Amino acid sequence: MELIVQKFGGATLSDLGKIKLVANRIHELKQTQKNIIVIVSAMGKTTDSLIWQSYDLSQHPDPRELGVLLSTGEIISASLLAIALNNLGCPAISFNGAQAGIITDENHLNATIQFIESVRIEDSLQSGKVVILAGFQGVGTSGDVTTLGRGGSDTTALAIAAHLQAERCEILKDFPAIYSADPQLIKEAEPITNLSYDQLLDMTFWGAKVLQYRSVEIAKKYNVPLYVGPAHTNQIGTIVEDTKMIEDAKVMCLNSHAHVLRVHSSLETLSESIEWLKSFLKTKNIPFPQLLHTERAEGGIDLFMTAPVESLGPIASELGNQSYLNESLCSVTATCQGSTKPELLEKMIDMLETKGIKIIYMIVSAMSVTIFIKPVYRMQAIETLHQLIRVPKIF
């Protein structure tokens, strides 16, 4: 029997009415004789609320206890959805990360999945039940609860889909598709109907919030058919698959990290600098950030990094107190349909300089151009460069 993995984002489960809508959608799909595994995020802003409650109690919450706390949001969603499905006469069972057999390393707040022991999941599917998993979490080999980092429910979904060789994985959200820019920022943003794994990898690494970057890596590695679309409507959505790249330097989408820190290490080598940062943050119970770029500077190494705001704030505070923090920046990235070309760089630079936007650093990769600028210019830069967009409809 065909296996479908569906992941529902927090906004699609933000209240009991939306949970009932999701349950009805799953019930209809189940009637087509398909095996279904559903991964859920926490309801609405539950995770944000739990994080800020913990920081109200401690400037540096213990990572183990914070992981336990954050895991409860997804467990609530899973249990409520199972109750709603059973009430419809659709047999369902919910599992937390440990019950699902998702075994991770010992990193409490940014764990990596090591392997999956899916016996309970498979037994429940064989008995005809819809299996609902609390996303974003697993269990370390020591038995402690771990979480997979912000957006980790996406990683749960793609890991399960890859492990059980699902027919497809559907990431269902409260917006219709992946867009050429954040539609909450740019009203002219256009939906993209087709993407390659490589394009989506570039987009998510440089700030697109549609999926966790690690989840796209899994999809690409195991060639999992991936769909990103709306949870409550029938709009087309975005299909992500292993398509052939075309040699086209046209800009397809813009993504951005609103908060980037440039941190200076006085150590001579990059490996020493990264080890210093890891050790320093570990003593403060702060998760290691996402490194975006490194650059040799006078007297050492500059490290460019970003992280969820609840981690980035403490990083900036602690490093700033010891004069390691050079400046706060933001990034804006133009991802192309194919390879980048010099003409595109010239055009981007000219457009930004005409607006008085100073580029502090620029990174050119195979299929994207990233600039680091002062945060005050972020929206103006995105609006200006979005004029270059040509959204591909079909590959």
Return the domain boundaries, the chain: 3-174, 251-388
Taking only the tens place, the pLDDT of each residue in 341-371 is: 888 899 999 999 999 999 999 999 988 999 9
Query: b/e for 118-150, b at 16 or more Cβ within 10 A?
Result: beebeebbeeebbbbbbbbbbbbeeebbbbbbb
* CA–CA gap between residue 208 and residue 180 (Å, rounded): 10
Instruction: Give the tokens for residue 332.
Output: 């804006």
Q: What is the pLDDT of residue 299?
A: 87
| pLDDT at residue 395 greater than cutoff 60 | no
Q: Which helix (H) or strand (E) holds 309?
A: helix 309-321
Distance between CA atoms of 295 and 303, rounded to whole angstroms? 7
Q: Which fold has domain 251-388?
A: VC0802-like (3.30.2130)
Q: Six-digit token pair at 162?
A: 């890859």
Q: What is the mean pLDDT of the chain?
A: 93
Smallest Cα–Cα separation from 66: which of 144, 5, 127? 144
CATH superfamily, region 3-174: Acetylglutamate kinase-like (3.40.1160.10)
Distance CA 60, CA 41 (A): 24
d(CA 88, CA 29): 13
CA atoms within 13 A on the CB side of 231: 24
Look at residue 191 in the predicted model and tell me its pLDDT: 94
For position 90, what pLDDT does the model report? 98
Sign of the alpha-carbon dihedral angle for 204, 117, 81, 51: negative
| Burial of residue 99 (number of CB atoms within 10 Å: 0-12, 13-18, 19+) | middle
pLDDT of residue 57: 96
